[in-house]
Amino acid sequence: MDNKRYSIKTVLMPNGERLPLLIGPSGIPVHEVAIYVMAEIRGSNKAGNTIVQVLQAIRVLYIFLETRGLVMERRLAQGEILTLPEIQALVHYCKLPFKHIKENSDQPGTTSSGKIIPLEKVRQTLSANTTPMVSPLVAATRLIYIRNYLSSLSRTWAYKYGYGSNERENLIVAGEDLMQMINSRLPSLNRHGTRQEREGLSSSDLERLFAVIAPDSPRNPWRSNHGKARNELLILWLYYLGLRRGELLTITVSDVSFFEKNVLVARRADNPKDPRTNQPLTKTKARKLPIGDWLLGKTEEYIKLSRSLFKQARKHEFLFVAEGGAPLSMSACNKIFAELRERCPDLPRNLFPHIFRHTWNDRFSEIADSKQFSEAEEMKMRSHLMGWSETSGTAALYTKRHTRHKANEALLEMQKQIQISAGVPDE
């Protein structure tokens, strides 16, 4: 089965609104999915990028159904949704990387004829499966979006029948059962009672990185002078300001105040002046951030000596541009880091745009220690600079992580002192 039979396309409306759609094998949007997106996802003011995530999960569902010859409309007309073996197979399906999904059309649970496979055989097949799996968070997110969609679909069909009818009651019960069965099978995100946190780059990692991206470095992986200047500045902005990738790509030249020495990080969802179909977005609160003289000088140099060379760049205000002058896209930004990881294998393998946000928070914790900020002061300042709500609790996670690091260092120092006092020599 060709996974291109289901695709996601984003329609750019004249008012700047981005409307992602799931396109079916016929080449037109899947009707039920389009109605669901408009009524329940877009209707709750979710951003276009969130809708794409929802559609990616629903796309997995439709590929799953097609590989098994299942037609959801027929099931719903019979007052049914998915059987337990089918849900078990769907849970496993959602754990697969998308590139492997089309290769797994014969997963355990049910056959194309609908024959139920014993549960013990399902377990044996799953344990023997050596296919790489996505993270528990990705699998759980897929299942939650699929669960919500199927639950909504079952309610819609139930409302077609009169109160007290068997069909209505069967669909209501089937929807409740589906919710319970999927909920009980969601991958655990906190298996050992500790939060899996990504650490920032170390000082040695940063030293190697900055040596590589210097425009005059012989190891610099980019050829054009514009590419070298832009990519260095882009990475410096991520590191110095702790911005998200989407926030960075929404910055315009006029957002940078060279007189006040700051930058406005603004929210501009569905911006009609942004020609990018996959529009970069600012997820956090709008805010102004100060910029130091050196970074401000590098930015001015890029605008005057590199960005200005492209005629197309004069048609818009976005700070970072592609070769040719169009606004830099999300995928092009990702490619910059992919090229770095590929051509400079001594750099960290986790070198993605978001790692600099973690790195920034690590450095801020060190500054907070040196300035002797109270925990409350540190969290308030961190929340403001990162664009988080003070009640979100995100800042507290970084504060707690830094506290744990300090506690671990103190414990190791204490062990060393005990070792010395006991006369045990260092190995």
pLDDT of residue 45: 64
Percent of the chain residues topping a pLDDT of 90:
40
pLDDT at 378 over 50: yes
pLDDT of residue 173: 87
pLDDT at 107 over 50: no
For the question of whether the overall pTM of this predicted structure is more than 0.75, the answer is no
pLDDT of residue 182: 92
pLDDT of residue 292: 93
pLDDT of residue 384: 85
Percent of the chain residues topping a pLDDT of 70:
85
Q: Cα separation of 346 and 356, whole Å? A: 18
The better pLDDT of the pair 338, 101 is held by 338
Question: Mean pLDDT across the stretch 364-375?
Answer: 86
For residue 224, name the pLDDT band (cuts at 50, 70, 90): very high
Residue closest to 253 by CA, chosen among 306, 318, 300: 318
Question: Mean pLDDT across the stretch 262-289?
Answer: 87
**What is the rounded average pLDDT for all residues in the chain?**
83
The better pLDDT of the pair 331, 389 is held by 331
Question: Mean pLDDT across the stretch 289-310?
Answer: 95
pLDDT at 232 over 50: yes
Q: Are 189 and 344 in contact (CB under 8 A)?
A: no
pLDDT of residue 130: 58
